[in-house]
Amino acid sequence: MLYHYIQAMKNIILVAGATGNLGTQVCRELINRGAVVRALARLESDAAQVRALQDFGVNVIHADFNQPSDLLSACEGISCVVSALAGLHNVIVTAQSQLLNAAIQAGVPRFIPSDFCTDYTQLPQGVNRNFDLRKEFETLVDDSDIKATSIFNGAFAYVLQYGIPLFDNLNKTIAYYDGKKDRKIDFTTVNNTAAFTAAAALDNNAPRHLRIASFQVSPQDLADLSKIIYGEAFELTDQGSLEQFLAFINKQRQAHPEGEQELYPQWQQMQYLYSMFAAHHPHLDNTRYSGLNWTSATNALQQVQN
């Protein structure tokens, strides 16, 4: 333990997107591990979020992403950049590339891109607009000399609270596709993702991809758990094939081009659901770092209003 703490103290980690939901938690977990944390904020970032970061020991640097010198000085002496930026092409490709270029110029050895999703390497281009942006950035990072680590966490577990078709707590239904009630789906809490990401940021031997899940549950598991937790079984509903679902999503996307300017338009949420069923983490890296307490499906479902 002391050895890990001393190792962490030698590291200065730069977190981009630190004012966001995941980014703030990553900063907290890094501080807990004894790392020195520098965070990028923008002039327009929420002042209260910035203060909260400073209050728990983060050194916040205000930077304009369009000013290479701002990003370059933020990257000086950094051992790993963690990006938890969220947005469309202008963020995931443009802003992350600006940060990547600064990191390369400053000689930063490692970069963790803002992937934090289902393993998109299993999915073809075109089935998930937000994953396509990550794939575009992946090509840029892999063409550079920096050592990258992508963390695939499936869906954040809090989506189970949103009444999504996979777990519709309003109508008490659980959707499945391709007749596969037993298809396992990967879920990870934001806290677990943040703790694992902090450990990976301090792990200079981390591989290109790491796959995690707090829990993996099938539609059938969710139905069984709903009976135990809420005293009533949600109804499993056959939604036809994934192929039909994808064709429907593509039509919705064509009919709603205004969604191209939104981060999570309805058709993108459907793309996310499709991806959760179409890609799976067969091998998990959960045990790579010690001391992580993975949230169970039961605990996550207990937080869903019924």
Ligand X SMILES: NC(=O)c1ccc[n+]([C@@H]2O[C@H](COP(=O)([O-])OP(=O)(O)OC[C@H]3O[C@@H](n4cnc5c(N)ncnc54)[C@H](OP(=O)(O)O)[C@@H]3O)[C@@H](O)[C@H]2O)c1
Output phi, psi for 173, to 5 deg. Answer: -125, 155
- 152 belongs to the binding site for ligand X (CB under 6 A): no
What is d(CA 158, CA 110) in angstroms, rounded to the nearest whole number? 29
3 state SS for 220-263: HHHHHHHHHHHCCCCEEEECCCHHHHHHHHHHHHHHCHHHHHCC
- 23 belongs to the binding site for ligand X (CB under 6 A): yes
Residues contacting ligand X: total by CB under 6 A: 26
CB of 51 to ligand X, least distance (A): 13
Confirm if 98 and 65 have CB atoms less than 8 A apart: yes
How far is it between the farthest Cα atoms of the chain?
A: 59
Q: Which is nearer to ligand X, 244 or 276 (CB)?
A: 276
| Residues ≥6 apart with Cβ < 8 Å to 13 | 30, 35, 36, 37, 38, 78, 79, 80, 81, 82, 201, 202
What is d(CA 218, CA 236) in angstroms, rounded to the nearest whole number? 11
Q: Which is nearer to ligand X, 46 or 182 (CB)?
A: 46
Residue range at the interface with ligand X (CB under 6 A); choices 114-122, 225-233, 235-243, 290-298: 114-122
Residue range at the interface with ligand X (CB under 6 A); choices 17-25, 215-223, 232-240, 243-251: 17-25
Confirm if 281 and 217 have CB atoms less than 8 A apart: no
Residue range at the interface with ligand X (CB under 6 A); choices 1-9, 111-119, 195-203, 208-216: 111-119
CB of 187 to ligand X, least distance (A): 8
- Residues within window 159-188 making contact with ligand X, judged by CB under 6 A: 159
Residue range at the interface with ligand X (CB under 6 A); choices 15-23, 194-202, 241-249, 286-294: 15-23
Confirm if 218 and 184 have CB atoms less than 8 A apart: yes
- 95 belongs to the binding site for ligand X (CB under 6 A): yes
Pairing verdict, β 235-238 and 147-148: unpaired
- 86 belongs to the binding site for ligand X (CB under 6 A): yes
- 58 belongs to the binding site for ligand X (CB under 6 A): no
- Residues within window 204-243 making contact with ligand X, judged by CB under 6 A: none
Structure tokens of 2?
């002391």
Pairing verdict, β 59-62 and 12-16: unpaired
Q: Which residue in 8, 30, 116, 128 binds ligand X (CB under 6 A)?
A: 116
Residue range at the interface with ligand X (CB under 6 A); choices 78-86, 168-176, 217-225, 244-252: 78-86
What is d(CA 201, CA 150) in angstroms, rounded to the nearest whole number? 11
Q: Which residue in 21, 67, 241, 298 binds ligand X (CB under 6 A)?
A: 21
CB of 18 to ligand X, least distance (A): 6
- Residues within window 243-302 making contact with ligand X, judged by CB under 6 A: none
- 22 belongs to the binding site for ligand X (CB under 6 A): yes
| Residues ≥6 apart with Cβ < 8 Å to 175 | 165, 166, 168, 219, 237, 239
The binding site for ligand X (CB under 6 A) comprises: 17, 19-23, 41-42, 44-46, 65, 84-87, 90-91, 95, 114, 116-117, 153, 155-156, 159
